[in-house]
Amino acid sequence: MRSRNLLITLGVLVAVLVLPNLDALKSKARQTIASAAGKAAVTNMSGVVAENNARGLAAAELITLPIEVDEVAPGVFRASGVGNTFVITTSEGNVVFDTGLVIQASEQIRQLKAVVGDFQPVKIVLSHSHADHVGGTRLWSGEETQLIAHEEFEEEQRYLTELNPYLHQRNRTLFPWIPETPRTLPGMNFRGLIPDIRVDNDIPYTFVLGGRRFEVHATPGAEGADNVVLWLPDDKVLLAGDFFGPQFPQFPNLFTMRGEKMRKPVEYVNSIDHLLDLDIETLLPSHLEPVHGAEEVRAGMIKIREAVDFVHSTTVAGMNAGKSLSELMVEIRLPERLLLSETHGKVSWAVKSIWEYYATWFHFDRTSELYATPQSAVLGDLAGIIDADAALSLVHQKLQRSELEQALLLLELFEGLNTEPELMAPLMELRVKVLSQLRERARVKSNDYELYWLGSELEKARSELP
């Protein structure tokens, strides 16, 4: 099922490649291609969901969410999708906030225009440079449209583009519905956007359109250095992009498994302080559902602020007290009053991220960290002097005592031994067991990315079983 749909996706791509004149691709053709690719991606994932493949299930749910338009605040319309697209209407023209994923944007545009009428946006505000927020920008833009983004937007976009072949494969491990090869086709290219107005961290960019006031505030530190939010002061509505992540409130993603630059923890706290000065009544995130109620929003923001501040200050205190990184990763837990969902950002990974943000990759621990030779280079030499039965029973013991992280470390060493098949087969079976139990454990304090990664590793381990 899945492979057939992948063929449909590839078919769409091939059809584009053989078009006689790619330069002549006009907006309509672009939208058709993007729309077909979007439908194929959804069908891919529907197949995966139907097969009840636990790997990437949350991501699966996101891509298979229906695209629908609703009025989420007076004169503010949201088209749902992997990333939401918003239209804020005024009597003198409309503003668009975020433009979704390229493969969903044309359907979002079609539905939004069906509700508010045909228009070219006066301004497009992009919350940050991620693919799920800028995909439809070229499909919306008209001659007169002004593009507004953070002053770091182009730099963030540059490195994400330059490293795209590498980052794409990391993304695919976590989000299996993403096509195998990055899309670099003219009709699908959503990168290389140049803002007309760049917002800096000091002064918000404000404008009035049709009597409606708009304020674009820089909020760096959440999903990167180039975050902005759109504040509608008359309505007390905040279009938050990914500043708070997909659920509210939750512990933020100070580190991302997808592979990205470090995110600055103190900047994030400062940005929340800035937002607390606004009197927000409605929060419109660029993923999933709005949050209503001034008290709920304020309480959630304060809790997130305190939690990040706590993790930051205890990590710094631990470093100053001479504790090792692994000690701090185990020790630092949110106190009861600050407990937050870790589905998006995990506290122990934030500790590591803060540690490395300040002290970089040399953990001041093992001397071999300084040199290029990995442990695996010498494991083969150990093969001859290892007692295979003793090795196996050691892993068994760790597993029985639920010392899963220790069992995993041993397995990673033993697999590197590259020893005779009689030992390898039972080791690989043990690897499947250990990964399964790690995943069960991860479900308890669920972090989406940890589950995606363990799911992917488990699938690989199962496929390698003799």
List residues binding Zn ion (CB under 5 A). Answer: 132, 242
**Min. distance of Cβ 307 from Zn ion in angstroms?**
21
3-state class of 105 per DSSP?
A: helix
Rank residues 132 and 260 by Cβ distance to Zn ion and give the closer one: 132
**Min. distance of Cβ 283 from Zn ion in angstroms?**
15
Rank residues 125 and 328 by Cβ distance to Zn ion and give the closer one: 125
**Min. distance of Cβ 241 from Zn ion in angstroms?**
8
Residues of 200-218 as b/e, b for ≥16 C-beta within 10 angstroms?
A: ebeebbeeebeebebbbbb
Please state the separation of Cα 274 from the chain's center in Å: 24
**Min. distance of Cβ 420 from Zn ion in angstroms?**
48
The answer to whether the bond into 249 is cis (omega within 30° of 0) is yes
How far is residue 176's CA from residue 233's CA, in Å, rounded to a whole number? Answer: 40
**Min. distance of Cβ 111 from Zn ion in angstroms?**
20
Whose CA is closest to 226, among 99, 323, 133, 305? 133
**Are 294 and 281 spatial neighbours (Cβ–Cβ below 8 Å)?**
yes
**Are 243 and 138 spatial neighbours (Cβ–Cβ below 8 Å)?**
no
How far is residue 439's CA from residue 272's CA, in Å, rounded to a whole number? Answer: 33
**Min. distance of Cβ 125 from Zn ion in angstroms?**
15
Rank residues 132 and 156 by Cβ distance to Zn ion and give the closer one: 132
Rank residues 284 and 338 by Cβ distance to Zn ion and give the closer one: 284
Q: Which helix (H) or strand (E) segment is 450 a member of?
A: helix 448-463
Q: Is 416 left (phi over 0), alpha (psi -120 to 50) or beta?
A: alpha
How far is residue 268's CA from residue 132's CA, in Å, rounded to a whole number? Answer: 21
**Min. distance of Cβ 299 from Zn ion in angstroms?**
24
Give φ, ψ of 289 to 5 degrees. Answer: -100, 155
Amino acid letter, residue 325: L
Rank residues 132 and 450 by Cβ distance to Zn ion and give the closer one: 132
Rank residues 132 and 457 by Cβ distance to Zn ion and give the closer one: 132
Helices (runs of H) and strands (runs of E) counted in the chain: 17, 13
**Min. distance of Cβ 226 from Zn ion in angstroms?**
13
Look at strands 237-241 and 69-73 and give their pairing: unpaired
C-alpha torsion sign, points 287, 291, 297, 303? negative
Rank residues 132 and 152 by Cβ distance to Zn ion and give the closer one: 132
Rank residues 127 and 314 by Cβ distance to Zn ion and give the closer one: 127
